[in-house]
Amino acid sequence: MPVGKKGIEIGIGSGIFAEQLGINFGIDPSESMLALARKRNLNVVKGFAENLPFPDGSFDFAAFITSICFIEHPEKAISEAYRIIKTGGKIIIAFIDRNSNLGQNLIKDKEGSKFYRVATFYSVPEVIKMLEVAGFTISDIVQTLTNINALGVEQPLKGFGKGSFVVISAEKQEMAYTD
């Protein structure tokens, strides 16, 4: 996460990740989740990722922390994030890779899950494509949860394909104009 920068978590939920990561702003469609986030002294508003109620260039970065799989139109949400991020700013998307062992297990057990029943899981190439279509340039990809049964803290690895939890960071480039 960019340190000392103005960021927003899109799909902030209870605010537990934002609080731990130093993100002070958030948006979520659930009033009950927003009430929990407010108890953490976070600045939150009710709304949807596909229609962010913020002016262009409002934030230095935007984060989707496990929320991308719950958004009805993720391409539109990523385009909206592009709009509200300043040039040179970052987007961070953290998610369970559909192609991982954990991703496959969650898909298999989806119908019986209260939490993931409505989720749509994406592969890393699918998320990369959504980011690039929106105008972002991929700057880093890391993965963790390479061993679901590990007891200790696992250090993230560069890239993807071994870990179940992937974090992609991408940058909003300055628009190039041609005559």
Q: Which residues pair with 44 in a beta bridge?
A: 26
pLDDT in tens, 114-124: 888 888 999 99
Query: CATH no. for residue 145?
Result: 3.40.50.150
Range of the domain at 12: 7-172
The whole-number pLDDT of residue 3 equals: 82
Task: Name the token pair of 101.
Answer: 């062992």
**Does 146 map to a domain?**
yes
If one compares 153 and 37, the residue with the highest pLDDT of the two is 37
3-state secondary structure of 90: strand
**Does 179 map to a domain?**
no
Q: What is the CA radius of gyration of the chain?
A: 16
**Does 87 map to a domain?**
yes
pLDDT in tens, 16-52: 999 999 999 999 999 999 999 999 999 999 999 999 9
Domains in the chain, number: 1
38-77: string of b/e by CB count within 10 Å (b at 16+)?
eebebebeebbbbebebeeebbbbbbbbebbbbbeebebb
- Spatial separation of the C-alpha atoms in residues 170 and 159, rounded to whole Å: 13
